[in-house]
Chains A and B, each alone.
Chain A
Amino acid sequence: MPWQDTGVKKYMSKFSEAFKNKAFVGFLTAGDPDIETSGEYILEMVRSGADIIEIGIPFSDPIAEGEVIQASTQRALKNGVNLDKVFSLVSQIRKETQVPVVFLTYLNPIFNYGYELFFAMCQKIGVQGVIIPDLPYEEKEEVQISADKYEIDLIPIIAPTSAKRIQKIACCANGFIYVISPGDSWSTNSANMAQLKDIVKEIKKVSDAPVVIGFGEPEEAEIKEAAKFCDGISAGSGIVRIIAQYGKNAAEKVRDYVKSVKKALK
């Protein structure tokens, strides 16, 4: 087996270090443009200041993703990426960095691999959390048992439509909470920012877990605004779009992007 035991015990605090300042969660899809280059870009993101790395494990039908990530997923699947290859990728980067890593993937690849084996592998290679867009609160029990056993955080998602569900979801959250921003054109609408602020306020009433706001490709002013009331942000399609455009020659652009977001967060 290519992966090795990296001693996950020392990550017991998991994300607290990452959220000491306003955190940036850098996302890319494993295997786009190819698995080796994904590893290179992850390390580039870490060197440029990314506080948490979110690795998308490609699924054939990512119903919660927009076009940029859909296309990235298709490219990764064409490259033959599967769970074992992603585990191997994480093992490789673990030789270089202790940055917290979370996976984003749909439930079927995990179910197919076996919940028990999947979370055991996450623990073994040093993955701290998993975000599963098609696993709402109502269905999480079957997954939670294995995640708890191997001390992997199931990062819950809260949406602009969650309303009465916010506190129920937030109060049992581990790791951090992922709030998705409303609409595609949210940035043109200051009401959306006010709504996000209200959601975070609701969460903080019942949970002290850090709150990350998931944006697509936020502009500087929006990052600055969000940083006032949340603990971190992610830019889901920002880096993916750069990789789509520059392929294997995106390192410098990825570095510039991460640095610019980090600067805006300060």
Chain B
Amino acid sequence: MIGTKFGIYGGQYIPEILMSEIINLENSYNKFRNDEKFCSELDFLLKNYAGRPSLLYFAKNMTKDLGGAKVYLKREDLNHTGSHKINNVLGQVLLAKYMGKKRVIAETGAGQHGVATATAAALLGLECEIYMGKEDTERQALNVYRMELLGAKVHPVMSGTMTLKDAVNEAMREWARRCEDTFYVLGSVMGPHPYPTIVRDFQSIISKEAREQILQAEGRLPNTVMACVGGGSNAIGIFYNFIDDPDVGLIGCEAAGKGLNCGLHAASVTKGRLGIFHGMKSIFCQDNDGQISPVYSISAGLDYPGVGPEHAYLHSIGRAQYVPVTDDEAVDAFEYLSRIEGIIPAIESAHAIAHAIKIVPKMKKDDIVLICLSGRGDKDAYAMARYRGKKIHE
């Protein structure tokens, strides 16, 4: 990283009204990231509140069934609040508190980041308001209730396509209105510098642990590390401590929705191109005029028209590979992992499982595949039942 960018990607393309605060954020982060008290408090919360380290689980049945490489799952679904989101949120909300902010705001797609932010705000005694696309509040009604239960105010966003990108727009507008006392807890490795770095640093604990755990279990590094990619926070988290190991392949699984050629997808790297949006230069789904495209995925957490700048960079230098996975494949994988391992994955994480189902059988028996199981799938049960045409009565 040079200055605010990863290669040509990243930067600070945001309105002037936010610049002073974003510089304040960077200075504060640089101060507290090396502060002994801050680090030990965060470490304590991660261990005693979030439940870290998360398990590295050898998926014996899946390995046997696929008949190829050994499959390991990094169980971020076992964290408090049910996904990897808590890693970043505890870091950012604690930072907000150290910066003397009274209030946190956040955007959310599936609701996982919103729930995690509301949780950390409740724990650390800060006010919390969450911006969520109206369409997502309907798809993920249970998470809306969870956030409210945790004391957060949820604002359904009615502008634009009423999904994640619009929730980010609205959270940025609110931040611009009230940045003196408000901290914007960004949920993914996206947005203006320093967010992609802050979020990556807090999520990199996933691969810090996984690297040690796999070395302990197998005495060597995995051949392939995989994760789903929306903005890309769990993916960068599990990639980060393997980036300097050239023999470890890195694969990000994007949402191909109903198919890459019908327009109903969120596969930014596969189908998008270079652009500037939400504070960063990166790869975005956009039309011929540079208007950001409405995107689609069965998974609200992957339903974002861009990818974080560090992913765009890893892709540009050929260090990581990004592949599309359709709704159908993800739903099959959702059911597959539930039945074969007794683990119900988040539909987001199921995108990575789906790609593993494709490639693991072609690998050697002593190869190792490490998959980030970024979240649990309880939140998706209704939607999956609906997808299969089943009616569930509450």
A→B interface (CB under 8 Å): 59-61, 63-64, 66-67, 70, 74, 77, 82-83, 107-113, 133-139, 156-165, 169, 180, 183-184
In chain B, positions 159-185 with a C-beta closer than 8 Å to chain A are 159-160, 165-166, 169, 172-173, 176-177, 179
Pair A64/B11 contact, Cβ less than 8 Å: no
A-B contact pairs, 21 of them (CB 8 A): A60-B292, A61-B166, A64-B15, A64-B173, A67-B159, A70-B159, A82-B289, A108-B275, A108-B284, A111-B274, A111-B275, A112-B290, A113-B290, A133-B16, A134-B276, A134-B279, A138-B11, A158-B16, A159-B17, A163-B20, A180-B16
Pair A162/B290 contact, Cβ less than 8 Å: no
Pair A60/B16 contact, Cβ less than 8 Å: no
Pair B159/A108 contact, Cβ less than 8 Å: no
- Point out the residues of chain B lying under 8 angstroms from A161, CB to CB: 16-21, 179
- Point out the residues of chain A lying under 8 angstroms from B4, CB to CB: 138
The 6 A-B pairs with the shortest beta carbon distances in the complex, nearest first, are A112-B290, A159-B17, A109-B290, A60-B291, A82-B289, A64-B15
Known contacts A112-B286, A112-B289, A165-B19: does B12 contact A61 (CB below 8 Å)?
no
- Point out the residues of chain A lying under 8 angstroms from B286, CB to CB: 108, 112
Closest to A105 in B: B290
In chain B, positions 266-297 with a C-beta closer than 8 Å to chain A are 274-279, 284, 286, 288-292
Classify the interface of chain B: helix, strand, loop or mixed: mixed
**Residues 2-25 of chain B: 1 if any A CB is under 8 Å from the residue's CB, otherwise 0?**
001000000111111111110000
Pair A157/B16 contact, Cβ less than 8 Å: yes
Q: State the CA gap A188–B166 with chains docked (Å).
A: 30
Pair B276/A61 contact, Cβ less than 8 Å: no
Q: State the CA gap A64–B15 with chains docked (Å).
A: 7
Among A59, A64, A164, A180, chain B packs the most CB atoms within 10 A around the CB of A64
Pair A136/B13 contact, Cβ less than 8 Å: yes
Q: Pick the contact of B19 from A83, A112, A113, A162 — CB < 8 Å? A: A162
B: number of interface residues (CB 8 Å): 35
Pair B289/A109 contact, Cβ less than 8 Å: yes
The minimal Cβ–Cβ distance linking A35 to chain B, given in whole angstroms, is 14
Q: Pick the contact of B276 from A60, A108, A156 — CB < 8 Å? A: A108
Among A61, A137, A157, A180, chain B packs the most CB atoms within 10 A around the CB of A61
Q: State the CA gap A134–B19 with chains docked (Å).
A: 10
Q: State the CA gap A134–B12 with chains docked (Å).
A: 9
Pair B15/A112 contact, Cβ less than 8 Å: no
Pair B276/A59 contact, Cβ less than 8 Å: no
Q: State the CA gap A64–B174 with chains docked (Å).
A: 10
Q: State the CA gap A153–B3 with chains docked (Å).
A: 27
Known contacts A63-B172, A82-B289: does B276 contact A111 (CB below 8 Å)?
yes
- Point out the residues of chain B lying under 8 angstroms from A60, CB to CB: 160, 291-292
Known contacts A112-B289, A112-B290: does B17 contact A107 (CB below 8 Å)?
no
**Residues 324-336 of chain B: 1 if any A CB is under 8 Å from the residue's CB, otherwise 0?**
0000000000000
Q: Pick the contact of A184 from B13, B177, B290 — CB < 8 Å? A: B177
Pair B289/A135 contact, Cβ less than 8 Å: no
Q: Pick the contact of A136 from B16, B165, B166, B278 — CB < 8 Å? A: B16
Q: Pick the contact of A59 from B17, B21, B291 — CB < 8 Å? A: B291
Pair A108/B277 contact, Cβ less than 8 Å: yes
Q: State the CA gap A162–B22 with chains docked (Å).
A: 11
Q: Pick the contact of B177 from A74, A82, A109, A183 — CB < 8 Å? A: A183
Known contacts A61-B169, A108-B290, A184-B177: does B19 contact A136 (CB below 8 Å)?
yes
Among A66, A110, A161, chain B packs the most CB atoms within 10 A around the CB of A161
Pair B13/A160 contact, Cβ less than 8 Å: no
- Point out the residues of chain A lying under 8 angstroms from B177, CB to CB: 183-184
- Point out the residues of chain B lying under 8 angstroms from A133, CB to CB: 15-16
In chain B, positions 1-57 with a C-beta closer than 8 Å to chain A are 4, 11-21
In chain B, positions 247-282 with a C-beta closer than 8 Å to chain A are 274-279
Pair B15/A134 contact, Cβ less than 8 Å: yes
The minimal Cβ–Cβ distance linking B9 to chain A, given in whole angstroms, is 13
The minimal Cβ–Cβ distance linking A73 to chain B, given in whole angstroms, is 10
Pair A159/B290 contact, Cβ less than 8 Å: no
Closest to B159 in A: A70
The minimal Cβ–Cβ distance linking B160 to chain A, given in whole angstroms, is 6
Q: State the CA gap A169–B18 with chains docked (Å).
A: 14
The minimal Cβ–Cβ distance linking B10 to chain A, given in whole angstroms, is 10
Closest to B19 in A: A136
Pair A61/B165 contact, Cβ less than 8 Å: yes
Pair A109/B179 contact, Cβ less than 8 Å: no
Q: Pick the contact of B15 from A83, A157, A163 — CB < 8 Å? A: A157
